[in-house]
Chain A
Amino acid sequence: MALTGRFILLALAGIFPLILFPTGQTALWWCLFLAVLLAADIGLAGSPRKVGLERRIPSSVRLTEECTAELLLTNHGTRQLKAVLRDGWQPSAGAVNPVQRITIPAGERRLLAVRLRPERRGDLLAHHVAVRSLGPLGLAARQLSVPAPARLRVLPPFHAKRHLPSKLRKLRELDGKAAVQIRGAGTEFDSLRDYVRGDDVRSIDWRATARRQAVVVRTWRPERDRRVVIVLDTSRTAAARIDNEPRLDTGIEASLLLAALAERGGDRVDFVAFDRRARATVRSASKGNLLNQLVNAMATVEPELIEADWSQIPAQVHNISSHRSLVVLLTSLDSGSAEESLLPMLAQLTAKHVVVVASVRDPLLDALRAERGTATDVFRAAAAERALLDRAAITQQIKQLGAEVVDADPHQLPPQLADTYIRLKAAGRL
């Protein structure tokens, strides 16, 4: 049950009879009057129990985009339903108009559109719809929270998409498909074509030239169908925020850009999110759009507050591909957590695969170390320097083990990782 403002006004109006006849009896009569009206209004209100609910939710939406969740309400009762509804989305679903008024005649159906502007990646839930059914006089209402579970999957935003065209152009240049002055890099023979000025004379195919009147050059293209395994660390270090974005989200952006690029480059991309066990996996063998599968798998990945078990990674990678692959580890290079388990495992991995360790660098540390105004600032600068030195030492160790390191600010990490991929591909190291 719920009261309305109109009922309060009516109750307030009781002061006029009280001024005219200031006795307890007047008050009693007015109370009785109010009680009768209240009972009648509640009795005549449409039953919220007889509302049929049906939801139509978009299958998924990208973070930062808006969508509409539709709610179909059917009045199964015999009375008109005049109600205020509240769609019970959790706050981070960002419902713009969760509370709406609606009137449904008996036996009819109406549509309620709730605009959602999600503020967080992952599965966002709604558990119920609160129905406050007003009586014909609008004095009081029957209220009920009708269970109506719903789930909206919010996909990672993939802001790094804007880097994709430029990186793809670079990749095409490698491929020899774009008009460039140099011959296509790579080792795999692609085709013969007429010599154009500027081509490397070393690539002239003399045998083919002899058969024809014109000079013919060979073109190569980079290897295709190589394997790229992206391992995303979801352990406790992924929860740390850099530039107000969890490390995990930056890792997701970088993985998506790399995956999109590698797929266009003709390589096979596998993805695994891992801490002590695989939290999400996408296999290149499966059918369907890779990017779609990736964003769906990544949507629900959250940092787990446990330490990562790197010793299992070689086995995981072997499970995915027994061939030589490019293994990209998206993790953190903090001293302590990395030294203990990451480094011993890397030696195993680099023996068989090409390994790239990508990590987000905290721009705040660079800001802290330059700040030297007071004693506190200087101590803070010293601590930041220590963190950076430790990081540099670990980077050095990783490089000595034969792995590549990409260490960049959050918004720089995805393009730099893509650049590393292109460089490795160009060098034929995949």
Chain B
Amino acid sequence: MSQATAARASADIGEASGEQTAWSVARQRLRRWSFWLLLGVLLIAAVLVQLLRSPPADREDLSPANPAPNGAMAVAEVLRQQGVEVIATDSLDETLGALEDGGTLLFHDANNYLEPEQLARLSDHGGPTVLVRPGFQQLQELAPEVTAAGRVPEEGGPLAAECMANDDGGGSPAPDAQDSVTQPAGSISRGGLGYRGPVMCFPFETGAEPAASYVTSADGGTVVLGAGHVLSNEEIVDRGNAALALNTLGSADRLVWYRPSLSDLAVPDEPQSPLALLPAWVTPVTLWLLAVGVLAMLWRGRRLGKLIQEPLPVVVPAAETAAGRARLYQDSKSIRRAAANLRAATLTRLAAKLRLGAGSSAAAVVDAVARHSNRPAVELDRLLRTYIPESESQLVDWAQTLHSLEKEILDQ
């Protein structure tokens, strides 16, 4: 009988769970998670749109497209307004193509991307060239007469526009061509790098030979601008910086502003990283092991069945109220109250032990205790009745004495 009902019950269970197929469960889960899925998709979409819409802002030093304080957009824009065609380029081939029609070349390669061969190709162009803060190799290829002279010392005022020809250490005055470019500036703000060359303008004091932050070759075709900061948006308005920048760069009606980029890097032929020396299977096997690791996490992380809940009982130690009261006594330094408690409890117990009855006075208890112990009555009276501790240490001493007396009497 019970077997039959049991069979029916289990059949019911079978049918009831049969309504829930794997597909319906999958659909249910999808419905339950649909909000989060949608949210995730929207988030990813928003991030993608944001990335695609705004190209990465130009934050490079002295870039003609950078409006930030360290950029040089201001000078480029002013040049354009003055009718100079400013062409910003970032690869050697593009630059050489732009220079076929003539014009001034501004070369600024702070990261030293270009190899000597590439620099040589660049030097083949015949027009006027402005080198902004060139490095050693750039100088060698593009302006061999100029040498670097380190940083401009920070102390001192602005640099004055004095030009001089450097004929083997002599100090003869410079040609007029340079004066016409530099004199309108008057002075420029201090900073940047110093160089030595055939014609030096804006000199600064050094320990040894004179050096300047604006050096040109003997024929004036190549200008080495150590004071690159005069082009920056931040400092272009200071002193004669603007005049110097515009006079230097605006001499022709075309300006090719070349800032080498990663695309100029020559791809090396030989393997450079030690990873490339490893056998070919290392990378795929590593990736495969990572994937297997993820699978193993799925394997170990799968719980067997739903979570099971356990209602937990309230746990309240009964002595908690006493402990709380003790902390209150201690925090408020209620030494007298604590002493009164201890005294009352001891007297009660002693009275019960000595069969004095509940209503007996403290004096009666002291008398009875004096009869039962060998201690003098005066000391007992002080201990049990009159003494009031004033500090914690006194309280501890007194409480211990009280306890030992009590034990002595109760253990009799």
Contact = CB atoms under 8 A, between A and B. Distances in A.
Interface of A: 2-5, 7-8, 11-12, 14-15, 18-20, 22-24, 26-27, 49-54, 72, 74, 76, 84, 86, 88-92, 99, 120, 127-130, 132, 142-148, 239-242, 246-247, 302-303, 305, 334, 360, 362, 364-365, 368-370, 372-389, 392, 396
A76 B326 contact: no
Contact of A54 (B9, B322, B339, B358): B9
Contact of B325 (A54, A373, A387, A388): A387
Contacts, number: 196
A370 B349 CA distance: 13
* Interface residues of chain B: helix, strand, loop or mixed (majority): helix
Contact of A247 (B11, B308, B318, B342): B318
B302 A3 contact: yes
8 contacts: A26-B284, A88-B305, A146-B13, A368-B319, A379-B329, A379-B330, A383-B338, A389-B341
Contacts of A143: 302, 304-305
Contact of B285 (A18, A305, A374, A384): A18
Contacts of B18: 49-50
B308 A53 contact: no
Contacts of B292: 8, 11-12, 14
B358 A396 contact: yes
Nearest to B299: A3
B267 interface: no
Nearest to B329: A379
Given A11-B295, A50-B14, A241-B315, A99 B304 contact: yes
Contacts of B281: 18-20, 22
Contacts of B386: none
A384 B322 contact: yes
A336 B18 CA distance: 59
Given A22-B281, A52-B10, A130 B339 contact: no
A52 B288 contact: no
Given A128-B305, A382-B329, A386-B325, A305 B399 contact: no
A108 B318 CA distance: 55
B284 A88 contact: no
Nearest to A392: B348
A388 B352 CA distance: 15
Interface of B: 6, 9-11, 13-14, 17-18, 20-22, 279-281, 283-285, 287-289, 291-292, 295-296, 298-299, 302, 304-306, 308-310, 313-323, 325-327, 329-330, 337-339, 341-342, 344-345, 348, 358, 392-393, 395-396, 399-400, 403
A8 B315 CA distance: 45
A389 B345 contact: yes
Contacts of A76: 14
Contacts of A374: 396
Contacts of B309: 90
B326 A3 contact: no
Contacts of B317: 240-241, 364
A145 B342 contact: no
Contacts of B314: 239, 303, 305
A383 B319 CA distance: 10
B330 A240 contact: no
A388 B285 contact: no
B285 A15 contact: yes
Contact of B284 (A23, A72, A148): A23
B304 A132 contact: yes
A379 B318 contact: no
Contact of A22 (B280, B321, B344, B392): B280
A32 B190 CA distance: 68
B399 A372 contact: yes
A266 B304 CA distance: 54
B103 to A, nearest CB: 49
Nearest to A21: B281
A11 B317 CA distance: 54
Contacts of B320: 240
Contacts of B283: 22
A46 B392 CA distance: 76
Given A19-B281, A22-B285, A76-B14, A145 B306 contact: yes
Contacts of B403: 370, 372
Nearest to A305: B314
A385 B306 contact: no
Given A3-B298, A18-B281, A23-B284, A362 B10 contact: no
B337 A86 contact: no
Given A242-B318, A385-B341, A379 B326 contact: yes
A375 B394 CA distance: 9
Contacts of B9: 54
Contacts of B313: 120, 239, 246, 302
Given A49-B18, A387-B325, A8 B319 contact: no
A148 B22 CA distance: 19
A375 B10 contact: no
Given A8-B295, A89-B308, A92-B310, A385 B316 contact: no
Contact of B6 (A50, A54, A383): A54
Contact of B17 (A49, A74, A303, A386): A49
A365 B288 contact: no
A27 B392 CA distance: 78
Contacts of A381: 342, 399
A376 to B, nearest CB: 6
A385 B17 CA distance: 63
In the A-B complex, list the 8 residue pairs whose CB atoms are closest, starting with the nearest: A130-B305, A52-B10, A22-B281, A382-B338, A383-B326, A385-B345, A240-B318, A380-B326
Contacts of B344: 385, 389
Nearest to A15: B285
A280 B296 CA distance: 52
B299 A148 contact: no
B289 to A, nearest CB: 7
Contacts of B6: 54, 72
A376 B399 CA distance: 12
From A52, A99, A242, A383, name the one whose CB has the most chain B CB atoms within 10 angstroms: A383
Contact of B305 (A86, A364, A369, A373): A86
Nearest to B320: A240
Contacts of A4: 299
B145 to A, nearest CB: 56
Contacts of A22: 279-281, 283-285
A277 B405 CA distance: 49
A3 B294 CA distance: 12
